[in-house]
Structure 1
């Protein structure tokens, strides 16, 4: 998988501002039927550090 930068340091897959999840899932944010920019999306792969 290519290098994926991530600034969400609260995620357990984040190591030194890089994502190490085995796969990435991104979805539209909320009830949107159409994303216009990155603010309209969210990372479904997020897993809080525990």
Structure 2
């Protein structure tokens, strides 16, 4: 599995979080909710999140 370089993640509840680095094979980011346009980072979300089991 390839680790994406320099992707910081502070969401410790995510199974891809390894020592504050994301080790997901890809990252998918989407607009949050029903927004047509994102104007800042608060309007986005990480769809790659996978809770730890």
- Flag whether TM exceeds 0.5 (same fold): yes
Alignment correspondent of 1:10: 13
Structure 2 runs not aligned, ≥5 long: none
> Any idea what SS the aligned residue of 2:19 has?
coil
Higher strand proportion: 2
Q: What is the TM-score with the length of structure 1 in the denominator?
A: 0.96
Show structure 1 runs of 4+ deviating over 4 A. none
RMSD: 0.6
> Any idea what SS the aligned residue of 1:39 has?
helix
Q: How many residues align?
A: 50
Alignment correspondent of 1:34: 37
- In structure 2, C-alpha distance between the alignment counterparts of 1:10 and 1:42, rounded to whole Å: 15
Structure 1 runs not aligned, ≥5 long: none
Q: What is the TM-score with the length of structure 2 in the denominator?
A: 0.91
